[in-house]
């Protein structure tokens, strides 16, 4: 088994200082995955925020785009419509599953991404949960409402991963009103701030919890 220390040394951990344009992020992921595939680049986790925008995954329905008030980008990740914007921490994960799993398993990888987010939120006292048939991480409010606090969307090329997770730290939640988030209309979205939690320090927590899971 590869040690945690070795895994850390193999992964480039990037944190963007400002907003990153979505096409620039896609270009970076494409180039990095190609480099990982040919052995010229390290695996990478990139934490960033985007300007306000919507993305449409491979299962997106046109009817779920209710109000294109922000730019809309079609992307090759799985899933439906998602919002990204300031106050939302995105984690793009580029890992070679062939070198990390005895038999590459996308379901196991998605489970690991979920576990990463759940453990990270737990460090702030937030109980994040999985829901069968509903992608993402969910919290239960005091009145019983279930709301999504984190989204997950992945793509795999040559068994190397692209895209990843997004966690709502303190975004403008009204911006989600332009879409049916991930095709789910029966439940809303929330954020760490809406739960009364200060998300300062999330980046370092994500780093620590990542190496506990992967």
Residues annotated catalytic, as ranges? 182
Q: What is the separation of C-alpha 77 from the centre of its chain, rounded to a whole number of angstroms?
A: 11
Determine how β-strand 160-168 pairs with β-strand 88-94: antiparallel
Among 180, 165, 175, 157, CA closest to 60: 180
Render 119-170 in DSSP notation, one character per residue.
HHHHTTT---EEETTEEEEEEE-TTS-EEEEEEEEEEEETTEEEEEEEEESS
183: tokens are: 């095709």
Q: What three-state secondary structure class fits 6?
A: helix
């Amino acid at each position: 088994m590869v040690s945690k220390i070795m895994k850390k040394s193999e992964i480039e951990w990037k944190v963007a200082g400002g907003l990153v344009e979505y096409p620039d992020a896609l270009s970076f992921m494409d180039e990095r995955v190609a480099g990982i595939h040919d052995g010229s680049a390290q695996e990478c986790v990139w934490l960033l925020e985007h300007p306000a925008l919507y993305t449409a995954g491979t299962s997106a329905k046109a009817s779920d785009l209710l109000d294109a008030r922000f730019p809309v980008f079609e992307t090759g990740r799985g899933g439906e419509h998602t919002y990204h914007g300031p106050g939302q921490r995105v984690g793009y994960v580029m890992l070679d599953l062939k070198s990390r799993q005895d038999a590459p398993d996308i379901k196991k990888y998605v489970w690991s991404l979920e576990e990463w987010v759940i453990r990270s939120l737990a460090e702030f006292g937030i109980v994040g949960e999985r829901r069968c048939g509903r992608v993402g991480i969910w919290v239960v409010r005091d009145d019983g409402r279930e709301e999504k606090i984190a989204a997950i969307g992945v793509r795999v090329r040559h068994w190397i991963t692209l895209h990843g997770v997004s966690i709502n730290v303190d975004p403008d939640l009204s911006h989600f009103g332009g879409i049916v988030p991930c095709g789910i209309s029966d439940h809303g979205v929330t954020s760490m701030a809406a739960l009364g939690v200060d998300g300062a320090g999330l980046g370092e927590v994500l780093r620590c919890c990542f190496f506990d899971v992967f």
